[in-house]
Amino acid sequence: MAGLFDKQADLYVQGRPNYPKEWYSLLADRTSHHSLAWDVGTGNGQAAFSIMSLFLYVAEYYNQVIATDISEPQINRAIHHPRVKYIHTPTSLSNNDLISLIGPEGSVDLITVAQAVHWFDLPNFYSIVDRLLKKRGGIFAVWGYKDVTVSPAFDPIMKEFHNTTLPYWDPKLRYVLDGYKTLPFPFEDVGLGSEGRPMELDIPKMMSFEGYLVMLKSWSAVTTAKEKGVDLLNESVVNDLMTAWGGSHLVKPVVCKVFMIAGKVRG
């Protein structure tokens, strides 16, 4: 999986949404302590940086955030801060070695996975979460997104484009395509979505057409199609999208539709 995002790491940095600090307030309110957070599949560090930022603002911060990813190019493009420690974690690491890099068992207050848990070997990863997360007051949260709504004129054109990408998505993306509604999540409900019933959230932001196009180019399906000789974002498609947008220089309000599930260790 890392190879998909190694190839478009620069686009990934430019094209992904920033997660609002208010989300982490929801999570922080449910953690008993704020000593250690682990952001898994951190990519370019957006989520890791947001966790740290929240506690700077409210003066209740995690003493350390550990951010890990199997993609070294993504880690190399991460947002740096003295309280965030980035670690490249290749798939060759054993569970015990990975746990030793994060902290003692039962020591992590918050574990987050943004737009990545669907790639993991879920039973194995969940066993690691169970070992690392504090049994009392520890929270584990995952989220993802698939749709970005723009306008009644643009959204149907975008849906047509999205349909052309479907043959090129990795089968593991089925969890994203159904909004995590079928994602196995064997953790106790904490009121922020649960297995089979994700909580829906919105990320409003202003975006230029060029920025939107960068986001589309960062999609793994677009990269995979191009490797197979299919240019999904050819000139004709881009022109259709641009016309529906209203022009290449127009900046518009858009909404990223996000789904979250959070829980704690059962028992």
Scan for tokens 């149907």, then name that residue: 156
Per-residue confidence (pLDDT) for residue 111, from 0 to 100:
93
205's tokens: 């932001």
Per-residue confidence (pLDDT) for residue 1, from 0 to 100:
47
Residue 135 to residue 142: CA distance in whole angstroms: 18
Per-residue confidence (pLDDT) for residue 17, from 0 to 100:
56
Work out the percent of the chain whose per-residue pLDDT is above 90: 51
Residue 52: pLDDT above 50? Answer: no
Summarize pLDDT for 247-264 with one digit per residue, the tens.
988 999 999 889 999 999
Residue from 69, 68, 71, 87 nearest 4 by CA: 71
Confidence of residue 4 (pLDDT cuts 50, 70, 90): very low
**SS3 of residue 209 by DSSP:** helix
Q: What is the mean pLDDT of the chain?
A: 84
Per-residue confidence (pLDDT) for residue 53, from 0 to 100:
44
- Alpha carbon 241 to its chain centroid, in Å, reads 25
Per-residue confidence (pLDDT) for residue 3, from 0 to 100:
44
Kindly list the structural domains of the chain, giving each domain's residue range(s) and its CATH number in brackets, ordered by start.
2-145+172-202+255-264 (3.40.50.150)
Residue 246 to residue 132: CA distance in whole angstroms: 49
Summarize pLDDT for 218-238 with one digit per residue, the tens.
888 999 999 999 999 999 999
Residue 54 to residue 68: CA distance in whole angstroms: 19
Q: Are 29 and 56 in contact (CB under 8 A)?
A: no
What's phi and psi for 135, nearest 5 deg? Answer: -70, -25
Q: Is 193 exposed, middle or buried (0-12, 13-18, 19+ CB in 10 A)?
A: buried
Summarize pLDDT for 85-140 with one digit per residue, the tens.
889 999 899 999 999 999 999 999 999 898 889 889 999 999 999 999 999 999 99
Q: Are 212 and 158 in contact (CB under 8 A)?
A: no
Residue 17 to residue 203: CA distance in whole angstroms: 8
Residue 42 to residue 72: CA distance in whole angstroms: 11
Contacts of 6 (CB under 8 A, 6+ apart): 71, 72, 73, 74
Q: Are 49 and 83 in contact (CB under 8 A)?
A: no
Per-residue confidence (pLDDT) for residue 10, from 0 to 100:
43
Q: Are 136 and 32 in contact (CB under 8 A)?
A: yes
Residue 62 to residue 28: CA distance in whole angstroms: 9
Contacts of 160 (CB under 8 A, 6+ apart): none
Work out the percent of the chain whose per-residue pLDDT is above 70: 85
The pTM is what? 0.81
Greater confidence (79 vs 203) lies with: 203
Per-residue confidence (pLDDT) for residue 59, from 0 to 100:
30
Q: Are 139 and 110 in contact (CB under 8 A)?
A: yes
Q: Are 265 and 138 in contact (CB under 8 A)?
A: yes
Residue from 78, 113, 126, 154 nearest 259 by CA: 113
